[in-house]
Amino acid sequence: MVLGIFLLITGLLLFVFPDTSLLNFGYANLNGFFNLMPWLLLFLIPAITMRTISEEMRSGSFEILQTLPLSATQIVLGKYWGVVCIIFIALVPTTIYAVSMQSLSITGGIDLGATIGSYISLFFLANLYAAIGIFASSLVKNMIAAFAIGAFMCFILFIGLDALSQLPFFSNGIDYYIQLFGIKMHTANMSRGVIDGKDLIYFIALTTLFLYFTKVQITKQSIA
């Protein structure tokens, strides 16, 4: 149901509503789509992940899960890769937007390199959101609270740190380092079609860190 709503909203925003329609730009590009997606995923992914662990804790099925011959790492990775598969299923149909814009273009077509880079950036961003969402789900037993915490943490990393760096107080060079810890700078680099190892390391390291935090959290729950 969540994926259906997600695809319906993206379709309406990108091809029906005049203010955001890709057809009203006068040239073939997917900038509107890639600018919109981080915001939609910021709500979509916490909605998917909010039940992953919190529901297990609330219903008592986590105790049953603990009786299986699985380590905390295997449980966390199982939850994570399950969410990643759902995200992949959600993103694959959106490639029809790129095909449509390419077909509708009279001359030139879309920038293929930037489009591929943007999709890679989007996938790494979604994976990071998934790790954050699962961690948020491990903190509380209430699904709504898990959703709110996950969405808030994703918001802070995506736009909060970038907005913080714009304050005059940080204009002496510290703003760059604040942006460096935020997601927006790294997604912007990859969206230009430039796949830098530093950006990949950022996403992989931060995703791994949140998965580790989740492992620590459920280990504490097991001991308790």
Q: Per-residue pLDDT for 137 more than 80?
A: yes
Q: Per-residue pLDDT for 105 more than 70?
A: no
> Which tens digit of pLDDT belongs to each residue from 114-136?
788 788 888 899 999 999 999 99
The answer to whether 134 touches 217, Cβ cutoff 8 Å, is no
Angle 78-206-179 from CA coordinates, rounded to 5°: 150
- Domain extent, residue 138, equals 31-223
Residue 78 is assigned to a structural domain of this protein: yes
The answer to whether 39 touches 31, Cβ cutoff 8 Å, is no
The residue length of the chain stands at 224
- Tell me which residue has tokens 């979509």: 44
Q: Per-residue pLDDT for 192 more than 70?
A: no
Residue 3 is assigned to a structural domain of this protein: no
The answer to whether 6 touches 90, Cβ cutoff 8 Å, is yes
Encoded tokens for 102: 């390419």
Based on the structure, what is the number of domains in the chain? 1
The answer to whether 192 touches 112, Cβ cutoff 8 Å, is no
Residue 15 is assigned to a structural domain of this protein: no
Residue 17 is assigned to a structural domain of this protein: no
The answer to whether 127 touches 204, Cβ cutoff 8 Å, is no
Calculate the CA 121 to chain-centre distance.
10
Q: Per-residue pLDDT for 153 more than 80?
A: yes
**Across 45-61, average pLDDT:** 85
> Which tens digit of pLDDT belongs to each residue from 58-99?
877 777 777 778 888 888 999 999 999 998 988 888 888 877
Residue 10 is assigned to a structural domain of this protein: no
Residue 11 is assigned to a structural domain of this protein: no
Between the ranges 2-11, 125-134, 186-195, where is the mean pLDDT highest?
125-134
Residue 204 is assigned to a structural domain of this protein: yes
Residue 190 is assigned to a structural domain of this protein: yes
